[in-house]
Amino acid sequence: MENGKKILNDFVKSKFADQNELKKALFQAGVAALDEGWTFMDATFQLGGKARDEGLSADDVEKILRNAFSEEKRRTEREAEQKAAAQAAAQPAQAPQAQAAQAQPGMAPGYAAMGPTVISPISATMMQQMIALGLDNQSLELLQNFKIDPEALSIPWPAPDWRKDFAKLLAATFKPDETVEFKISNTPSGSREIVSKIIAQDEALKKIMKQLDGPDGALLTINAVKGGADATDESWHYRYVVVDNPKMTLAKQLAYYKALNLPCAALVNTGANSVQAWIKIEAHDQEEYKERVDFLFQTLESQGFKVDDGNRNPNQMVRMPGVLRNGKQQYLIALEQGAKNFTDWREWAEYSLDGKPLVELASDSEEAPKKDPCIIENVLRAGEFFLFTAPPKSGKSLALMDMALSICHGEDWLGNTTNENDVLYINLELTKSVFLNRLFLLGEKRNLQPNTPKFGFLNLRGTALTPLEIAQLIAKRIQGAKKLENHDYKVVVIDPISAVLHNPKSSRLSGSPHQILMQMVDSIIALTGCAVVTSTNFNEYPYLESRADSVISLTPVEGSLNTYQIKGSFREFPKTLARECSWIYPRFVV
């Protein structure tokens, strides 16, 4: 089949004079979008918008795209049915009481509660699935930390009777005798109606909702505008607040709602580029409402989810499901997700969102996971800290550069087998000219290509950054290289690590230099998953030696010029027997 991206690009750029040609091209683009990992809603927004601009009706657009996606939908449904059947066969039948306990009281039929699905450590397949959903590093980290299944982030299709979503939402979120207000967007005034009367419309509601279709969709108030006959206070006015972030992808918004366990009464697709979450505030009065919304918004912002302050208004109008907005469906995604109420959620947030790791259970893993890949056999794995120690001016920097070049080519280093990987070298001491001259000299002596694309470097000599800022910069560059340049760095070499402390910003830091440097190393490993390699003089930083996963030391052999004894001590590998090597400029040779 022709390249999917090319089909999509050609469709977006082309002009269609003939409707049949347009329909055929839209179908082909829909199939290509499916192959490229787009969701149905992505295709509706991007391809459908183009087709409607070219004169195709909204009904034709939806029909063609559904046909393009239908085979995938049928396949997914079959797989789900087979999985459910297999699970049912493997488990004893549930008692009626247990089955009843799974139902949510007051929930509209067809809209099950969408609680977080616990998963084991994320596989490569799942990671690809997450990336296909348009998730970035921040949301991937959220999912991994809180063990949310990425499949739960797929935006579901509208229900066959999605025109009734307005009534389903009202039945689940308001009392029958309360009054709500709704209107077509961009109109000065709306209509008010008692909830029970709207729900009673039943089949007639479909025709009513079609009358609200328009370029800007329709809105309703997030809270009731009038309480019921038995209301003793104004708590009905402070029951919900809406949150969304149109600058994020739909899947990323769902990732936040699920990972942060938000007490969602409902999730509504706005028909554009956001999912609005109805958050249960359940305040008794305005003062409590303000305090709870402040806590909610501050918590979201601390996790990287910015909410418009305008959403604080308890009279805020939000997207009403069941209508078309410029040909795109505003519809109900789910009811009752996350914590049961605001009080439970607040307690959960205070215990779980303090920036510290969550408690994990050994029972979460059915078997021991695979160990991180080896960088240097019997010496170093990804995610570990390796320290190389030797006397001053003995050639430590050249040894690190020699090691980095060896890893880039998968060649032996000091008699140890390396596995080919990308290496990022942080140069904190040499000028760029001297640095590259040394690299080319080593390449020439070893008959290895020095200008390999697997060898990346950052020149940070003279850069005034704290150790933590350097760690963040390195992580940012590694993430950017992976996303934009197809480089997957597994090793970070810092040369020399002591230079990190020799600038005005670092000199003002309080605390032990040893601990400051170790915090930087740990931050780089935590943010990137890379192995970190550096060197020091003998006994220069004993704390680093005690914390390192792997230490190789070179000790001069008395009476022998340029001869050294190599010793290796490792946390995860057996110690190596002492052996000798020679310094033959510009490298150590076993």
Name the nearest CA neighbour of 279 among 325, 330, 227, 314. Answer: 314
Distances (CA, A) of 249 to 132, 253, 317: 11, 6, 22
Q: Please tell me the predicted confidence (pLDDT) of residue 92.
A: 43
Q: Please tell me the predicted confidence (pLDDT) of residue 423.
A: 96
Q: Please tell me the predicted confidence (pLDDT) of residue 186.
A: 82
Distances (CA, A) of 48 to 45, 61, 64: 6, 6, 9
Through-space distance between the first and last CA atoms of the chain, rounded to whole angstroms: 53
Give the position of tokens 């907005």: 325
Q: Please tell me the predicted confidence (pLDDT) of residue 135.
A: 60
Q: Please tell me the predicted confidence (pLDDT) of residue 139.
A: 64
Give the position of tokens 């809406």: 242
Q: Please tell me the predicted confidence (pLDDT) of residue 108.
A: 44
- Lay out the sheet containing 422-427: strands in order across: 455-459, 422-427, 489-495, 531-537, 385-390, 550-556, 563-570, 576-584, 587-589
Name the nearest CA neighbour of 568 among 419, 398, 389. Answer: 389
Under-70 pLDDT residues of the chain: 1-2, 39, 41-42, 45, 70-154, 355-358, 360-361, 363-365
Q: Please tell me the predicted confidence (pLDDT) of residue 363.
A: 65
Q: Please tell me the predicted confidence (pLDDT) of residue 272.
A: 80
Given the DSSP bridges, would you call strands 218-221 and 179-184 parallel, antiparallel or unpaired? Answer: antiparallel
Q: Please tell me the predicted confidence (pLDDT) of residue 202.
A: 83
Q: What's the full length of the chain, in residues?
A: 590
Q: Please tell me the predicted confidence (pLDDT) of residue 462.
A: 84
Please, are residues 447 and 457 in contact by the beta-carbon 8 Å criterion? no
Q: How many CB atoms lie within 10 A of CB 131?
A: 14
pLDDT tens digits, residue range 180-212?
999 988 888 888 999 999 999 988 888 889 988
Name the nearest CA neighbour of 268 among 166, 360, 148, 136. Answer: 166
pLDDT tens digits, residue range 81-102?
455 545 544 544 343 333 333 3
Backbone angles phi, psi at 270, to 5 degrees: -80, -5
Coil, helix or strand for 418?
A: strand
Q: Please tell me the predicted confidence (pLDDT) of residue 512.
A: 84
Q: Please tell me the predicted confidence (pLDDT) of residue 484.
A: 86
Q: Please tell me the predicted confidence (pLDDT) of residue 57.
A: 84
Q: Please tell me the predicted confidence (pLDDT) of residue 102.
A: 38
Distances (CA, A) of 515 to 272, 425, 495, 554: 49, 22, 18, 24
Q: Please tell me the predicted confidence (pLDDT) of residue 188.
A: 82
